[in-house]
Structure 1
Amino acid sequence: DRYPHELSGGLAQRAATALALIGDAPLLLADEPTTGLDRDLVERTVDELRRHTDEGRALLIITHDLAAAERIADRVAVMYAGRIVEIADAGPFFGAPGPRHPYAKGLLDALPERDFAPIPGMPPELGALPDGCAFAARCARADARCTAERPAFDDGLACHHGLTGRASHSLTKAAADA
Structure 2
Amino acid sequence: HPHELSGGLAQRAATALALVGDAPLLLADEPTTGLDRDLVDRTVDELRAHTGDAGRALLMITHDLAAARRVADTVAVMYAGRIVEIAPADAFFGAPGPRHPYARGLLDALPERAFTPIPGSPPELGDLPPGCAFAARCALADATCRAARPPLTEGVACHRA
What band does the TM-score fall into relative to the shorter chain? over 0.9
Name 1:40's counterpart in structure 2: 38
Name 2:146's counterpart in structure 1: 147
Could you tell me the TM-score, scaled by structure 1's length?
0.89
Moved runs in structure 1, 4+ residues, more than 2 A? Answer: none
| Distance apart, 1:153 and its partner CA | 1.0
Q: Of the candidates 9, 13, 24, which is equivalent to residue 7 of structure 2?
A: 9
Distance in 1, Cα, partners of 2:13 & 2:151:
41
Identity of matched residues, %: 81
Gaps in structure 1 of 5+ consecutive residues:
164-178
- Per-residue deviation, residues 101-144 of structure 1 (Å, max 9, x unmatched): 00000000000011100000010011100000000000000000
Code of the residue aligned with 1:35 in structure 2: it is: T
- Per-residue deviation, residues 24-66 of structure 1 (Å, max 9, x unmatched): 1111000000000000000000000000111121000000000
Code of the residue aligned with 2:88 in structure 1: it is: D
Q: Of the candidates 19, 22, 34, which is equivalent to residue 20 of structure 2?
A: 22
Question: Whose radius of gyration is greater, 1 or 2?
Answer: 1
What SS class does the counterpart of residue 71 from structure 1 fall into? helix
| Distance apart, 1:92 and its partner CA | 0.6
Could you tell me the TM-score, scaled by structure 2's length?
0.98
What SS class does the counterpart of residue 133 from structure 2 fall into? coil
Is 2:146 the counterpart of 1:109?
no
Gaps in structure 2 of 5+ consecutive residues:
none
Of stretches 84-93 and 48-57 in structure 1, the one that deviates more from structure 2 is 48-57
- Per-residue deviation, residues 86-111 of structure 1 (Å, max 9, x unmatched): 00000010001000000000000000
